[in-house]
Amino acid sequence: TDLAHIRNFSIVAHIDHGKSTLADRLIQSTGTVKDRDMKEQMLDAMDIERERGITIKANTVRIDYTADNGEQYVLNLIDTPGHVDFAYEVSRSMRAVEGSLLVVDSTQGVEAQTLANVYQAIDANHEIVPILNKIDLPASECDRVAEQIEDVIGIDASGAIRVSAKTGVGIHETLEAIVQHLPPPTGTRDAPLKAMLVDSWYDAYLGVIVLVRIMDGVLKKGDRIRMMSNNSTHHVDRIGVFKPQREDIPELGPGEIGFLTASIKQVRDTRVGDTITHEKGGTDKALPGFNPSQPVVFCGLFPVDSAEFEDLRDAIEKLALNDASFSYEMETSAALGFGFRCGFLGLLHLEVIRDRIEREYDIDLITTAPSVVYHIHLRDGSMEELHNPADMPDLSIVDHLEEPRIKATILVPDEYLGDVLKLCQDRRGIQMDLTYAGTRAMVVYDLPLNEVVFDFYDRLKSVTKGYASFDYQLTDYRQDNLVKMSILVNDEPVDALSMMVHRDRAEARGRAMVEKLKDLIPRHMFKIPIQAAIGGKVIARETLSAMRKDVTAKCYGGDATRKKKLLEKQKKGKKKMRQFGKVDIPQEAFISALKMD
Ligand code: GTP
């Protein structure tokens, strides 16, 4: 296809504003999928997904469209992950297209993810077509929302298309706007091949499928290609497009989007944002700004039942094959036994992986408190990354610590603003901006990521009754007064419970932790001190008093079977205990103590 007849675009939206429904409708109304097949198609895809546990990216699709001017166009829609954890992937896929449809639910208005995603589109120099969706609903307020788009985002929304992705109203206008308002791609056919790796995923039949956008040159079946980040070379055995079902084609030219397969075994071997060129006669200039995403949140994953360690290893290895941004290494904890220290792009990413292990692999997990990556600057001038508070080096060699900070954007109805400001203030936030859009306030805060990984999102939802939306991006690393807090039970440090905290918040956290543990640890025959300490200094302390009598004492004179039962019960209880010095701590104590509030 010649460049003038190609349009490449993505859809940006807050969750639930109708991105998938709109994409389905665009596909269906152009006859890309016949009406009759629409339901079946979708169901098929879902069944396969369920059966094989793989993701079908149905939203990356090539649409053939005959416009009102009589010309034939190829419209390529690429799907972008919607969540903040995948911001880097979003920004790369935005660079593979020239325009965006900005979908806003006209009954709701602009939300935090609308903003985060549209700013990414603006950064990528996209032409943006605003769309007001769900106009079939009585609560739809198109004028108000259009005004809000202009106020908050600062783009012209006077010509925003009014759409119901549900009934199909406005779909034709949307297709015409794509052709008329979005620019065609640019690129040179005779130049050396330069293709951007937009996305990749595993397919049980074909192996790794790589989605590419051709910038310059032509990619053909049978070509030998090279990934510029690691110089690995591959033989291309298949090239094609999604309509949305896979269709093989002989080549992809400049401006086109499609897939290749090349007997690549692991998704790990393909990096989003990488440049692909020919092994011979390729370009030597990679696309700028390649910078694979790094995990920022770490936590330990341990099997509740230590017999399941090998199953857990198996599950983690399988998941990692298909997720290049998930990292892991083995970890041993005196408290929790064998497990893994895992790195994630953010909290959602952590939850998704943890849920998959529990649901798909049926392994009960203990998740240790999530920790961010700290930069430890040593006295000798070198810098180390700290992924696990338990690895904190001796303070005598440490000069100072830095922690990651984020820029958080929160949209919230007026009446909850006070509570939101208080929450951010309590979490060491610095207010950057506060503006209004109608009855909603938009606050921007500079916050330490470590205050957000605990339970910030849950707290935010509860103080705003679910009406706030939240989004963040990492900004920089900054020095602060951070310390490692250890927990000692009967004078023995319990590794799984140590954490990094700000000095000013250490007392409160330490106090909460020892009080909780006092209730969770059963009494022993002797007194047990439970302490929180920084370095050698105790900052909070509780004492668990000694048990006065043997548990069986009250059975004296009673019948023997009851006594036996009681001892049996004790023995069973023992199994789930972990021994620390002379103290037995039940597994549940760790689970509960690590649920911070
Ligand atoms: P995620 O896939 O969860 O990110 O959400 P999304 O933005 O893709 O939204 P989705 O298309 O799943 O739509 C969210 C909900 O809104 C669904 O229940 C849709 O049926 C509904 N919806 C989408 N468009 C319309 C519309 O025009 N009118 C009405 N009444 N409902 C709609």
Mutate to test the pocket of ligand 1, among 12, 20, 132, 142 (most ligand atoms within 8 A of CB): 20
pLDDT at 24 over 50: yes
Share of the chain above pLDDT 70, in %: 87
Rounded to the nearest 10 degrees, how much is the dihedral formed by the CA atoms of 134, 139, 142, 147? -130
Q: In this model, does residue 382 exceed pLDDT 60?
A: yes
Comparing C-alpha atoms, which of 45, 46, 144, 64 is closest to residue 104?
144
Interface ipTM: 0.97
Ligand 1 atom with least separation from CA of 24: 11
| pLDDT value for 371 | 87
Q: Per residue in 243-277, pLDDT tens?
A: 888 899 999 999 999 999 999 988 888 888 899 99
> What tokens were used for 471?
């989004």
pLDDT in tens, 221-239: 999 999 998 899 999 999 9
> What are the φ/ψ torsions at residue 498 (nearest 5 degrees)?
-75, 150
Pocket of ligand 1 (CB under 6 A): 13, 15-21, 82, 133-134, 136-137, 164-166
134 is in an annotated binding site: yes
Amino acid symbol at 200: S
Residue closest via CA to ligand 1's atom 28 equals 134
CB 370 within 8 A of CB 350: yes
For the entire predicted model, the pTM comes to 0.73
Average pLDDT score over the chain:
86
Which ligand 1 atom lies nearest to the CA of residue 23?
11
What pLDDT shows up at residue 96? 93
Atom 18 (ligand 1): residue with closest C-alpha?
16
Q: What is the whole-number distance in angstroms between the Cα of residue 106 and the centre of ligand 1?
A: 12
Predicted confidence (pLDDT) at residue 143 exceeds the cutoff of 50 = yes
pLDDT (0 to 100) of residue 537: 92
CA distance 207 to 213: 19
Q: What is the pLDDT of residues 420-444, one digit of tens each?
A: 999 999 999 999 999 987 778 889 9
Which of 424, 417, 385, 390 shows the shortest CA–CA distance to 404?
385
The per-residue pLDDT for 574 is 47
Nearest CA to ligand 1 atom 2: 20
Q: How many C-beta atoms lie closer than 10 Å to residue 536's C-beta?
A: 6
